[in-house]
Amino acid sequence: MLGKKIVVLGTGGTIAGTAMRASDNLGYTAAQRGVGELLAALPDLAQFPLELLSEQVAQIDSKDMDFAVWQHLLHRCAHWLERDEVQGLVLTHGTDTLEETAYFLQSVLAPRKPVVLTGAMRPATSIGADGPQNLLDALTVAAYPGAQGVVVVCAGTIHSARDVQKVHTWRLDAFSSGDAGPLGQVAQGGLYLARNWPQEPVLCTPQAIEKLAAQADWPRVEIVMSHAGANGATVDALVSPEVAQRFGASPVQGLVVAATGNGSLHHELEAALHRAQGCGVRVVRATRCCNGQILPVPDQMIRDSEGLSAVKARVALMLELIARQQALG
């Protein structure tokens, strides 16, 4: 580990947020402090065994995460992961879309080094701020020998990018890995694994990553939900070229439906989704349930998300459409 470095990339979020009062954990403004300032506030950092570098990639509230930031983040992650002296990366990120960014990076990079995302549920100015401990835990994971893949660290728990979901609006332990369970725990500076690090196969070559980082237009993929009283009008409007043209939007190329239960759909919504498929729109079915995944049934005309949540299925479908575009030249 001698001479190894960990690079901390900042993107903003609550962990970098500030409020007027130390007792205010809700009325704060996100993304106010730089990543260097967050690191400087950590206790006993001089005793950390690896050299730390930091870089501010973005400074946003993660509810406003967009493709341009993802592309910049992907480019910087790929840059640092290629360097032999870099042991791993830590990314500070807002919690609202953290699971989407984590899944995107894992899908594209599938890194053999650790890429650890962390955030906070309370701002940096809070009397009970959770960001410093989360950041220290993330550094511990990034420095752990043999660690690899994109993971999320929050409230002492390590989650894989594929399984993690934000499941609570304000609790400090806001994330869950559902039925899969967490990868492990961080406690008192030690790491305790419960299962293996993410080991998905590498799907993107360095050349493909560069092309994705420079992708000008991302395919438009929207999410709809099945519910009582649902009808097909929303799907028909999303698919309509005239509606897209009226609002200056690109045509919808993909739809993810958050279905009820084991993938069941209101019959009117399902009929509209079949019409969308007939127009060439790719459709994927996820479940709106927090736990479990869709078990296949015979003669299913809409493919399922293979256990991905609706927001992650959207990311997967966008990447699939981009790969198809690039293959066609």
The residues annotated as belonging to the active site are: 14
- Residue matched to tokens 């005239």: 242
How far lies 182's CA from each of 135, 247, 252, 314, in Å? Answer: 18, 43, 35, 23
By the 10 Å C-beta count (0-12 exposed, 13-18 middle, 19+ buried), 297 is classed as: exposed
Bridge partner residues of 152 (DSSP) = 117, 159
Token couple for 52: 């730390």
- Helix axis angle for 98-109 and 67-81, nearest 10°, is 50
CA distance 23 to 97: 25
Angle between helices 98-109 and 310-328 (to 10 degrees): 40
Q: Token digits for 160?
A: 């894989």
String of DSSP letters for 298-322: TT-SSEE-TT--HHHHHHHHHHHHH
Q: What are phi and psi of 280, to 5 degrees?
A: 95, 5
Contact 305, 313 (CB under 8 A): yes
Q: Which neighbouring-strand residues pair with 59? A: none
**Six token digits for residue 310:** 């609706």
Radius of gyration of the chain (CA): 21
Q: Return the H-helix or E-strand segment holding 141.
A: helix 131-142
| Spatial distance between the Cα atoms of 220 and 249, rounded to a whole number of angstroms | 9
- The Cβ of residue 18 has, within 10 Å, a number of other Cβ atoms equal to 16
3 state DSSP class of 236: helix
Chain-centroid distance, C-alpha 323: 19
